[in-house]
Chain A
Amino acid sequence: MNLLEKLDFPTAFRELSPILIQGLGIVLGATLCGFFLALLLGTLIALGRISKVVLLDRMLIILLEIVRGTPLLVQLVYMYYVVPLLITIVGQLWDPSFRFTLSPFTAGVIGLGINYGCYLSEVIRSAITSVDKGQFEAALALGYTNRQAMWLIVIPQAVRIALPTFGNYIIMMIKDTSLLAFITVSELLLRTQAYASQTFLTIESYTLLALAYLVLSLPLAQIVRIMERRLTRHV
């Protein structure tokens, strides 16, 4: 029979939509947690590198090279399957009954957070260094300590500079949560795969999946643009 005649989008939409909507929470949850972790790590790495402590800088550069030189998918698999085993091995040095596991979701969030944290650290670092040095000095002259000047005066301005880039990274991360399917997180891709293999509605299922990602990322891109305009009004 002709493939075209067998197309049944209404059925696929009716049956797959609720399944996708259930998976949406996982996608948004993983993105939110992952991005928060990435921001935290990224800021710490950026500040570590700006601090000009040579040893710290070297170590951070090695970390960045490892993370940027390996695929995200491999990192996620490593975080889920290998890291718990490594921790178990170390833990058993003290307590032979020690066992350590990570849930797929937690491993995924940590993996996304570390990977994106490394990329964000470069964004944050260049944003911080692009803030005029005079801003820092003006704050010091008013009596701010180095730390206060950095966190209260320089970083808020750096955030404004970096914000559009952050927005783009969030959208990228939403799409990259699909990789969590490979470590058994039942996000959108894994659910769609299951549905498609049961119903053989292959074209319909994956088309709807792609549309679901578009529905998520397009409005976000718009929000990022609006925020960018508002925040950079006076910079």
Chain B
Amino acid sequence: MCDVMIEVRDLRKSFGSNEILKGINMTVKKGEKVVIIGPSGSGKSTFLRCLNFLEIPTSGTVRIDGHYFVKPNEKLNEKHVAALRTEIGMVFQRFNLFPTMTALENVMAAQMKIRKKSKEAARETAEKYLRKVGLAERMNYYPSQLSGGQQQRVAIARALAMEPKAMLFDEATSALDPELVGEVLNVIRELAEEGMTMVLVTHEMKFAKEVGDRIIFMDGGVIVEEGHPKEFFHHPKEERTKAFIKKVEH
């Protein structure tokens, strides 16, 4: 129908009198990988969380594959928001696996509860995605028995099992020990190659350069600059971007 997956118009978000996002416009095409970078406190995580309405914007609109979370001048409908969230997978910095469930149960739970799949069908899908992230042998382990990298891969499988139209990654590797970052990035890279639409917030500049179709640099609640990774990292236009790249590249 249309080739736009995520469309954000004039998004603003305030906490009390503190305006975190000051009017953001962004369009993500189907299959596009957008990487958001920026100093801490720039609003990039808040922005990402607005994309699936975990953070409810103060004003502005977010559309997923043509569907508004909340149509302009209409009231928020919780059931509709929940249903639309199902179409977007999210991976958190701190994994947030359900500790009382095994890896397999973590991946099955929402499929059965939200997608209304039978136990057998949910199990089949869960096994497929756990295999994909390389954890078929660990599916009966509890999160507490898995390493951080393994937990994050289960979390990715859990999101993928809902067969979302797009994936959001909120600093997915920031809480990991350095030696575990690679295994998670490999899974994300593989997803990217398969054509999944993705928006990533990350501090891994090398990775950003490698998987990103487009880099967005945020600072002070606005998009300062965006562009193709090569262009962006080698020929930044804005002073703030230059300063940031200089800081992170050594």
Please report A residues at the B interface, Cβ cutoff 8 Å.
Answer: 132, 134-135, 137-146, 148, 152-153, 156-157, 160, 233-235
Is the C-beta of B92 less than 8 angstroms from some C-beta in chain A? yes
Which chain B residues numbered 162 to 195 have a C-beta less than 8 Å away from chain A? 162
CB A139 to nearest CB in B, in angstroms, measures 8
Stretch from B24-32, B81-89, B217-225 forming part of the interface with A? B81-89
Please report B residues at the A interface, Cβ cutoff 8 Å.
Answer: 52, 54, 78-79, 82-83, 85-86, 88-90, 92, 94, 96-100, 109-110, 113-114, 142-145, 155, 158-159, 162
4 further interface pairs, Cβ-Cβ under 8 Å (given A137-B92, A234-B142, A235-B99): A132-B94, A140-B82, A144-B114, A234-B100
A160 engages B100 (CB within 8 Å):
yes
A141 engages B85 (CB within 8 Å):
yes
A165 to B31, CA, bound (A): 51
Residues of A within 8 A of B162 (CB): 142-143
A144 engages B92 (CB within 8 Å):
no
- Nearest A residue (CB) for B114: A143
A234 engages B92 (CB within 8 Å):
no
- Nearest A residue (CB) for B155: A138
B114 engages A156 (CB within 8 Å):
no
Q: Which residue of the partner chain, among A134, A143, A156, contacts B92 with CB atoms under 8 Å? A: A134
A142 and B78 in contact, given A134-B92, A153-B98, A235-B99 (Cβ under 8 angstroms): no
A157 and B99 in contact, given A137-B92, A144-B113 (Cβ under 8 angstroms): yes
CB A92 to nearest CB in B, in angstroms, measures 45
Residues of A within 8 A of B159 (CB): 141-142
Residues of A within 8 A of B99 (CB): 157, 234-235
A142 to B88, CA, bound (A): 8
A135 engages B86 (CB within 8 Å):
no
Residues of B within 8 A of A139 (CB): 110
A-B contact pairs, 7 of them (CB 8 A): A134-B96, A138-B97, A140-B85, A141-B89, A142-B110, A152-B109, A153-B98
A152 to B101, CA, bound (A): 12
Residues of B within 8 A of A135 (CB): 96, 98
Residues of A within 8 A of B85 (CB): 140-143
Q: Is the interface of A mostly helix, strand, loop or mixed?
A: helix
Residues of B within 8 A of A141 (CB): 52, 54, 85, 88-90, 92, 159
B86 engages A157 (CB within 8 Å):
no
Residues of A within 8 A of B52 (CB): 141
A144 to B109, CA, bound (A): 11
- Nearest B residue (CB) for A142: B110
Residues of A within 8 A of B98 (CB): 135, 138, 153, 157
A235 to B83, CA, bound (A): 29
Residues of B within 8 A of A140 (CB): 54, 82, 85
CB B104 to nearest CB in A, in angstroms, measures 14
A217 to B241, CA, bound (A): 68
A235 to B96, CA, bound (A): 12
A134 to B93, CA, bound (A): 10
B83 engages A157 (CB within 8 Å):
no
A141 to B142, CA, bound (A): 21
Closest 5 CB pairs of A and B: A143-B86, A138-B96, A142-B110, A134-B96, A141-B90
- Between B82, B85, B94, B144, the greatest number of chain A beta carbons within 10 A of the residue's beta carbon is seen for B82
A156 to B109, CA, bound (A): 14
- Between B88, B94, B100, B155, the greatest number of chain A beta carbons within 10 A of the residue's beta carbon is seen for B100
